[in-house]
């Protein structure tokens, strides 16, 4: 198969022929019809993830068709249209028994613990636990973004953030996760303040329901701007980018007893954020993490997508062929994001 491969961190990847994967016991091989280009893939390429072993194929947001089925798989057949969360749970540990597959102690992650979906085929573990059926009316390009960005934002806003109608919600960083969070919070009745440095990202945030936008720039106190716009601070705030500055601003923009949800990665010592813990204590703020969403939790989100309440298809702003993926991956470190870019490993795979 053709796949995007890198052999050294931070150095150019290339598209080359590599052996086809085989389905693991209990797992499947999926023919990749679409795969999202995510900032987490960039972090992996930069060497920020200790699970990656070189040479490596990135990619963890995917949708496609079951191509081969391993022994012991009960519920899936060749030809099924599927997607999967980026956290593939084991289904047997104590966390999984409690339904918390997204923090499974023995999780695997395509594109991190093993080769991923920037390829024509990808292997996925524990298919009966992790696969999600893709409705016929949903395109592969739209479904690809559900496994990481959209599902992650949905759980961060709804389950972890406990958004309620009428609340002020601040979203710091309007890339794929952030724009998803804007759309989901607005659909839930939240009044959203979107914060980003890129005019194009803020334009999309307005389109997806943001009531106010704050342009981040040197010298701009975004936390103060959020407090002023919301009459005292946000009830719920998310750092969807992942940087010390956005994490601190997210906490600083909360009102008393507000809730901060950290979604964006803060890798390594350089990513450590000195949060204002005196305010966390004095104002009884909540500091929460959010890590994807289990496959069994997808149905309510998919029902909202089917009903047209949520429109993840609008987040897809560009599609590129596999050959363009190495350059697009490298550019994520410097180019401002605008929506979601989806890679189509096979010609005409958007349908």
pLDDT (tens digit per residue) in 177-236: 999 999 999 999 999 999 999 999 999 999 999 999 999 999 999 999 999 999 999 999
Indicate if the alpha-carbon torsion angle 208, 210, 211, 214 is positive or negative: negative
Element (H, E) at 247: helix 244-252
Q: Where are the beta strands (DSSP E) in 38-89?
A: 61-69, 81-83
- The residue among 205 and 334 whose pLDDT is bigger is 205
Alpha carbon distances (Å) from 123 to 16, 65, 85, 259: 18, 12, 13, 37
CA 318 to chain CA mean position, Å = 17
Check residue 337 and give its pLDDT. Answer: 61
Q: Where are the beta strands (DSSP E) in the chain?
A: 2-5, 14-17, 28-37, 61-69, 81-83, 121-124, 132-133, 168-172, 191-196, 212-215, 234-239, 254-262, 286-289, 316-321, 340-344
* Residue 187 per-residue DSSP state: H
Half-sphere exposure of 108 (CA within 13 A, CB side): 18
**Cα–Cα distance measured from residue 31 to residue 18, given in angstroms and rounded to the nearest whole number:** 15
Structure tokens at 312: 């993840």
The domain segmentation of the chain, as residue ranges, is 2-149+293-344, 162-289
Check residue 349 and give its pLDDT. Answer: 46
CATH number of 2-149+293-344: 3.90.180.10
Write out pLDDT tens, residues 59-94.
999 999 999 999 999 999 999 999 999 999 999 999
CATH number of 162-289: 3.40.50.720
């Amino acid at each position: 198969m053709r796949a995007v491969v890198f052999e050294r961190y931070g150095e150019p990847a290339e598209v080359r022929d590599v052996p086809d994967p085989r389905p693991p016991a209990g797992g499947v091989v999926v023919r990749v019809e679409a795969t999202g280009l995510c900032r987490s893939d960039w972090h992996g390429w930069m060497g920020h993830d200790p699970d990656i072993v070189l040479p490596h194929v990135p990619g963890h947001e995917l949708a496609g068709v079951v191509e081969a089925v391993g022994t012991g798989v009960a519920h899936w057949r060749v030809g099924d249209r599927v997607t999967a969360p980026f956290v593939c749970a084991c289904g047997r540990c104590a966390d999984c028994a409690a339904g918390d597959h997204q923090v499974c102690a023995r999780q695997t992650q395509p594109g991190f613990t093993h080769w991923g979906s920037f390829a024509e085929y990808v292997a996925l573990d524990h298919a009966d636990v992790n696969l999600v059926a893709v409705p016929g009316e949903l395109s592969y390009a739209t479904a690809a973004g559900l496994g990481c960005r959209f599902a992650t934002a949905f759980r961060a806003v709804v389950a972890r953030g406990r958004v309620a109608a009428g609340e002020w919600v601040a979203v710091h960083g309007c890339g794929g996760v952030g724009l998803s969070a804007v759309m989901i919070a607005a659909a839930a009745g939240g009044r959203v303040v979107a914060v980003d440095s890129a005019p194009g990202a803020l334009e999309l945030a307005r389109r997806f329901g943001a009531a106010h936008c704050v342009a981040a720039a040197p010298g701009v106190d975004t936390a103060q701007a959020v407090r002023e716009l919301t009459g005292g601070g946000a009830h719920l705030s998310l750092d969807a980018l992942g940087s010390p500055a956005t994490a601190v601003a997210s906490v600083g923009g909360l009102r008393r007893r507000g809730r901060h949800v950290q979604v964006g990665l803060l890798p390594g010592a350089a990513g450590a954020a000195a949060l204002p813990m005196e305010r966390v204590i004095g104002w009884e703020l909540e500091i929460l993490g959010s890590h994807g969403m289990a496959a069994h939790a997808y149905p309510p989100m998919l029902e909202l997508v089917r009903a047209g309440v949520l429109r993840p298809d609008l987040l897809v702003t560009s599609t590129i062929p596999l050959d363009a993926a190495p350059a697009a991956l490298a550019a994520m470190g410097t180019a401002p994001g605008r929506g979601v870019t989806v890679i189509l490993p096979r010609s005409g795979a958007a349908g």
